[in-house]
Structure 1
Amino acid sequence: MSRWVFDLGNTRLKCARLDAHGGLAEVLALGHDGASFAQALAQALPDSLESACLASVASPALTTAVRDTVLTRCRRLSMARTQARLDGLVVAYEDPSRLGVDRFLAMLAAYRRARRATLVVGVGTAVTVDLVRADGLHLGGSIAPSPRLMRQALHQAAAQLPAQGGQALDFAADTADALASGCDGAAVGLIVHSLERAQARLGERPQLLLHGGGSEALQPWLPQAEYAPSLVLEGLARWSMLGQPVTA
């Protein structure tokens, strides 16, 4: 019997078994843009789970499909929800339900990691930026299109602009490279600007945590960043340890 956590995003499902100390064992990532997703998920899971926690920002239909698949193997399933405060973290939103649960869980994990001022940056379908003070107070954040989404939008508006490919350079001499440079650069620019504004506000430079499927591509431009690819799952593991109610 085992405990599992599931992070369902807009393009991928990440999941992991929790070890005896509540940490993450091997993390699995499954794309859910194809017909084989349900079969791949079923094959990835053990025959029986003691309990599971699911956090989702995906569509209701996909969330229900994943929940139902997990429930065929699981005694108890909890659905993670954003809370106004938890484990020392206090969110800035007046209505916490409007803060994406992935952002909430990433901040929860980031605060537990260091207990110091942190800029938490997720790069997936969107780029999300959240500033958390050393005392756990969330000071707010921003949301922008990810480089991948920018490329897709440009391709849809002008089909001759490729939706992928190219290398991010300082100054590109090829259209694909120029697109990669511009879209990656826009995301990096937002992050660097946010770091500068955070330092001006706090009087100290916060640590930078990067997570999400698109964050690895930005790492070379942000050498000061700590790469934490499974930050949302870490937060979900912590959420599951705090006695949250079973809702499914």
Structure 2
Amino acid sequence: MTAAALPGRVRTRNPERLGTDRLAAALGAYRRFGSQAVVVDMGTALCVDLVTADGAYAGGIVYPGVDLSYRALRDRTGLPLPAFSVPGGGRPTGMPDTTEEALRRGGRVVVPSVVGGLISHVREFAGADLPAVLTGGGCVPFLDLFPEGLPYDPHLNLRGIAEYVRLTTGVCA
């Protein structure tokens, strides 16, 4: 899958540098919504991308993913940090009083705030009513924490690959 095969559908200064995962997710969102959308893909990186009303990739934002950030914290501090986890359910009470709880709370508070802020930022350019969709394994532990009840589509990239096949060959996949 290459951006070059989709002339006019990748509106960036360096389309050859666009990761195929981002292109696939963008095409998948267009196939899902049939309109303009925001794609939030949480994996190694946190990518928030804009798909235009005609299905073109129009740019996005990249930020280090949760696991990458956590590993950097562990590696740069040299501390024997516990495995990263995000506990589910319920509103926490009191301030964390252990390193383990402080790390879990950090994830519960920061990740939804960052994602929400990035979606708002993209919507400033494209319209407040723009639908958004989550994808990528990194968002699974946080699904109950996103305030908008954002839809999660674990197959968004596969939908995008099917759309790529349709656009480049004319064959419905």
Q: TM-score range by the shorter chain?
A: 0.7 to 0.9
Alignment of 1:198-209 (within 5 A): 198-209=122-133
Q: Which amino acid aligns with 1:116?
A: S
Report deviation, 1:123: 0.8
Report deviation, 1:212: 0.8
Q: Percent identity?
A: 31
Q: Which amino acid aligns with 1:219?
A: L
Worse-matched range after superposition: 208-217 or 164-173? 164-173
Q: 1:165 aligns with which of 76, 85, 97?
A: 85
Query: Which whole-Å CA distance do the structure 2 matches of 1:185 and 1:132 have between them?
Result: 28
Query: Which whole-Å CA distance do the structure 2 matches of 1:243 and 1:206 have between them?
Result: 27
Report deviation, 1:241: 3.6
Alignment of 1:120-139 (within 5 A): 120-139=39-58
Report deviation, 1:129: 0.7
Name which structure has the greater RCO, CA cutoff 8 Å, separation 6+: 2
Match of 1:188 in 2: 112
Q: 2:24 aligns with which of 90, 93, 105?
A: 105
Could you list the per-position Cα deviations for residues 46-82 of structure 1 after superposition, in whole angstroms to 9, with x for gaps in the alignment? xxxxxxxxxxxxxxxxxxxxxxxxxxxxxxxxxx223
Report deviation, 1:126: 1.0
Match of 2:9 in 1: 90
Report deviation, 1:202: 2.7
Report deviation, 1:188: 2.3
Helix, strand or coil: the match of 1:214? helix
Query: Which whole-Å CA distance do the structure 2 matches of 1:121 and 1:166 have between them?
Result: 19
Runs of 4+ in 1 over 4 A off after TM superposition: 168-171
Query: Which whole-Å CA distance do the structure 2 matches of 1:147 and 1:91 have between them?
Result: 27
Aligned CA RMSD, in angstroms, stands at 2.4
Q: Does 1:81 align with 2:2?
A: yes
Q: 2:34 aligns with which of 103, 107, 115?
A: 115
CA contact under 8 A between 1:198 and 1:205: conserved in structure 2?
no
Alignment of 1:9-28 (within 5 A): none
Q: Does 1:234 align with 2:130?
A: no
Could you list the per-position Cα deviations for residues 161-210 of structure 1 after superposition, in whole angstroms to 9, with x for gaps in the alignment? 22423537665343223213324543322321122223332332321111
Q: How many residues align?
A: 163
CA contact under 8 A between 1:122 and 1:211: conserved in structure 2?
yes
Match of 1:140 in 2: 59
Match of 1:224 in 2: 149
Match of 2:99 in 1: 175
